[in-house]
Amino acid sequence: MVKKYLSLVKFSHTIFALPFAFIGFFMGVFFVAQQKSVKMFEVILQKQMLQLFLLVLICMVTARSAAMAFNRYLDRHFDAKNPRTAIREIPSGVIAASSALRFVILNAVIFIAATYCINPICFYLSPVALFVILFYSYTKRFTALCHMVLGLGLSLAPIGAYLAVTGTFAILPVLFSCVVICWVSGFDIIYAMQDVDFDASQNLHSIPTYLGKENALKLSVLLHIVAAVLVVVAGVIAGYGYFYWEGALVFIGMLYYQHSIVSSTNLTKVNIAFMTANGIASVIFGIHVLVALFLQ
């Protein structure tokens, strides 16, 4: 049963936002270490910080699980009509719609409880975060900007993790959140190109449906260029060293790679562009940023 629910929420896709949550968390740790004039390791090894890390991890997993399960629940009738998605858990009968909804509620409750244990600002903002990530599931019904809303939802990871540690906002986590918005929106546009005809037949909105595949791909390229520029800007402002720039090079290289294997007339490698390229980009970049932080 656990395996079925992990498949329902595409748990492997957690790989996209989780490294950026870690970036936000350890940036917060670095800030605390600076305030106390101690090394990062001294702060990390504190029992309170280890507990906080676990709570942030719980927030990430439950928030994403609630959002993904709700999306599957809300779109179950469309998924049943689309040959590409008819095999998903709810339309295929593997998981009942009512069970999926209970799963959403359970994860939302755990998420809010975890934020309560973190600090007041995270708790007060938890309904806002839930609204954003759940509201995304409705957006395809009325706006082609649904991809940007998805990006916005995932972009809460670095800001939220930084807030969990420090209780304050800062420019660098915001910059990384902007990177996530542009990066995720760009690759979601590519992914949506698979369903242009189906979405049009069901009066569903997306950038590829609105602009056409070729123009949608151009917009995706533009968003990824902005993401690459923001990665550079963040590195310059932070004054990170060699390891950051090595990670940035891999991240930007993966952005270029996914556009090199997908075209408006050839979508056979969309899944490689979507999962493989972006998974590598996120994990490698996240690791390099963390190393750069520890070396500062």
Give the mean model confidence (pLDDT) for residues 180-198. 95
CB 188 within 8 A of CB 151: yes
Q: pLDDT (tens digit, 9 = 90+) per residue, 253-283?
A: 999 999 999 998 888 888 877 778 888 999 9
Identify the pLDDT of residue 174. 96
- Which residue range is the domain that position 31 belongs to? 2-295
- The 10s digit of each residue's pLDDT in 84-98 is 999 999 999 999 999
Q: Does the pLDDT of residue 46 top 90, yes or no?
A: no
pLDDT of residue 295: 85
pLDDT at residue 48 above 80?
A: yes
Answer whether residue 9 shows pLDDT above 80.
no
Number of domains in the chain: 1
Confidence class of residue 166 from pLDDT cuts 50, 70 and 90? very high
CATH number at residue 146: 1.10.357.140
- Mean pLDDT, the chain, rounded, equals 93
pLDDT digits (tens, 9 = 90+) for 282-296: 999 999 999 999 887
Average pLDDT over residues 120-148: 96
CA 142 from centroid of its chain's CA atoms = 22
pLDDT at 2: 73
Mean pLDDT check: name the lowest of 33-37, 199-203, 248-252. Answer: 33-37
* pTM > 0.85: yes
